[in-house]
Amino acid sequence: MNFNEQAYITLCKAQIEKKFAFGNGNGYTQRDLELLAQHIEEKTGINLSLSTLKRFWKGHFKQSPQIATLNALAMVLDYKNWQDFKLQNQPPNKHSATKILWILPILTLLVVVGIIIMPGLIKKQVKVTGPIHFSTQKTVTSGIPNTVIFNYDLSNVEADSFFIQQSWNNFHRMAIDPNATTHTSIYYESGYHRARLYANDSMIAMQPVHILSDGWEPHIYYSYADQQPINFKNENFIENGQLHLKKELLNKRNIDFSRYFLTRISNTRDFGVSSNNFSLLSRIKVDSLADKLCPWMQMMVVTEKHVFWVNLQNKGCEHNASYKMGEVIRSGQQNDLSPLGVNIYKWQDVGVIVQNKQVEISLNDKVVFQETYQEDFGNVMGLLYIFDGTGSLDYVRLANANGKTVFEDDFTFEKLKMQ
């Protein structure tokens, strides 16, 4: 007996529905697919749109789904790829059935021994029997640090363990008491975070946590495992028309230049601009603190549902370049993104113009890529710049659908006085 491709697809869907407790055991909901898309991107780095997942679950595809889609779905089930999923889920043949007849008593004995000796190793399946309550409340209107109070009700969920995760960063996952109703956590970086509620390894709820920044906010991370990044609160990092972390300031914060680190510079608020229609222009560069083979920098637009980004690489390192516009992700590993290879230590004018979900990415006033995406990602909730080492901002301008400037900063003294 052999499975055809459709049989494997049906089996894959069944395993996902079981693992992520779709629809409380009664089919799937749109929310189930939204959470699944989020979980796939966190685990695999692959972005599958809601429409793709809907077509997959409804079986509305003329041909077999793309291998990238199948790989992502297999990987979220902890297989290496789609081929590995099929190899690990092959149906037994006649010879296998014969072997099972004499292996079965041995397996039965092992199961009995396991139940007697190792009950703690058997993991309970996540079971959802009713609604799940999950809400958040900040203790400070804006700025960091900011304690967030999580209120939850897990009385309708059965699982071995429960966690709250502050955002996409699974290093910030905290175990919670399923019999309690409140848990608190401190956020040390502003941003439009999406807090997750987990049962075992399954995400069962999500809530936005918008930590507003007091203007521009730089942080340095040696690793995303850091529980508290190095901040520059109450320090002067804007002068001479630039936002720049001077070496004297880095020394004051005892930055270890022998270690790898990156800088995140954010400005977080509801800009009142739809991610379907906006334009962003930024002049940015990496600071040459040390010789690196492939330094990089990234301009990111944070929206209510996800992020847009453009990742620039030093010349010769275009393999590492990428961009994400809506649900569309392009990687230098599978695409020619050579225009995103630049002299990273010189000022680069990076632009993104979106009109009705049609995108133009420009570099130094030249359009280098065009894309069209389908999903609605809500309003722009933050601007974020990430640098390998440290970096500088010289100019930032965000405009709405009509081309009207809603935010602009050239980092001059006059501009600072206006803010």
Q: Do the domain assignments include residue 103?
A: no
- 287 and 139 in a single domain? The answer is no
- In the chain, helix, strand, coil percent, each to 5? 25, 35, 40
Structure tokens at 230: 């190095």
Tell me the one-letter amino acid at 144. I
In this predicted structure, what is the pLDDT of residue 124? 67
Q: DSSP string spanning 11-70?
A: HHHHHHHHHTTGGGGS---HHHHHHHHHHHHHHHS----HHHHHHHHHT--SSPPPHHHH
Domain that holds residue 138: 127-211
- 253 and 343 in a single domain? The answer is yes
- 204 and 180 in a single domain? The answer is yes
- 184 and 327 in a single domain? The answer is no
- 203 and 233 in a single domain? The answer is no
In this predicted structure, what is the pLDDT of residue 397? 97
Q: 170-178: list long-range contacts, CB under 8 Å, 24+ apart.
A: 170/42, 171/224, 171/225, 171/226, 171/227, 172/227, 173/198, 176/150, 176/152, 178/154
- 149 and 22 in a single domain? The answer is no
Could you give the C-alpha distances from 376 to 55, 246, 372, in angstroms and in order? 17, 39, 12
Residues 6+ apart with CB under 8 A from 361: 310, 323, 325, 351, 352, 367, 368, 369, 370, 371
| Domain edge (last residue) among 147, 180, 211 | 211
151: domain CATH number is 2.60.40
Q: DSSP string spanning 388-416?
A: ES-EEEEEEEEE-TTS-EEEEE---HHHH
- 225 and 135 in a single domain? The answer is no
Q: Do the domain assignments include residue 287?
A: yes
- 161 and 178 in a single domain? The answer is yes
Structure tokens at 169: 């960063």
pLDDT in tens, the chain (419 residues): 457 888 889 898 988 888 877 765 556 777 778 778 877 877 776 778 778 888 888 877 667 788 888 988 998 888 888 988 988 888 766 554 454 454 555 555 555 545 554 454 455 688 888 999 999 999 988 888 999 999 999 999 999 999 999 988 878 889 999 999 999 999 999 999 999 999 988 888 999 999 999 899 999 998 877 888 999 988 899 988 999 999 999 999 999 888 888 999 999 999 999 999 999 999 999 998 767 788 999 999 999 988 999 999 999 999 889 999 998 988 888 899 999 999 999 999 999 999 999 999 999 999 999 999 988 999 999 999 999 999 999 999 999 989 999 999 999 854 443 34
Alpha helices in 134-277 (DSSP H): 247-252
In this predicted structure, what is the pLDDT of residue 418? 35
Q: Do the domain assignments include residue 202?
A: yes
Q: Which helix (H) or strand (E) holds 104?
A: helix 94-117
Q: Do the domain assignments include residue 253?
A: yes
| Separation CA 261–CA 388 (nearest Å) | 7
In this predicted structure, what is the pLDDT of residue 406? 95
- 226 and 199 in a single domain? The answer is no
- 47 and 64 in a single domain? The answer is yes
| Separation CA 20–CA 153 (nearest Å) | 18
Q: Do the domain assignments include residue 111?
A: no
**Three-state DSSP class for residue 109:** helix
Q: Do the domain assignments include residue 188?
A: yes
412: domain CATH number is 2.60.120.200
In degrees, rounded to 5, the angle at the alpha carbon of residue 234 between the alpha carbons of residues 399 and 396 is 15
Structural domain total, the chain: 3
Q: DSSP string spanning 294-322?
A: S-EEEEEEEESS-EEEEEEEETT-GGG-E
Residue 128, CA atoms < 13 Å, CB-side half-sphere? 26
Model pLDDT for residues 253-273, shown as the tens digit of each residue: 999 888 888 999 999 999 999
Tell me the one-letter amino acid at 34. E
- Work out whether the CA dihedral 331, 384, 188, 197 comes out positive or negative: negative
| Domain edge (last residue) among 181, 211, 241 | 211
Query: At how many degrees (to 10) do helices 30-44 and 67-75 cross?
Result: 90
Residues 6+ apart with CB under 8 A from 100: 92
Q: Do the domain assignments include residue 95?
A: no
| Separation CA 148–CA 163 (nearest Å) | 15
Structure tokens at 406: 């809603």
148 neighbors 187 (Cβ within 8 angstroms): yes
Identify the CA nearest to 129 among candidates 204, 30, 58.
204
Q: Which helix (H) or strand (E) holds 101?
A: helix 94-117
167 neighbors 206 (Cβ within 8 angstroms): no
The whole-model pTM stands at 0.72
Q: Do the domain assignments include residue 108?
A: no
- 34 and 149 in a single domain? The answer is no
| Domain edge (last residue) among 190, 211, 232 | 211
Model pLDDT for residues 56-97, shown as the tens digit of each residue: 888 776 677 888 889 889 988 888 889 889 888 887 665 544
In this predicted structure, what is the pLDDT of residue 405? 95
- 357 and 267 in a single domain? The answer is yes
Query: At how many degrees (to 10) do helices 50-58 and 30-44 cross?
Result: 120
pLDDT exceeding 70 applies to what percent of the chain?
87
| Separation CA 243–CA 284 (nearest Å) | 10
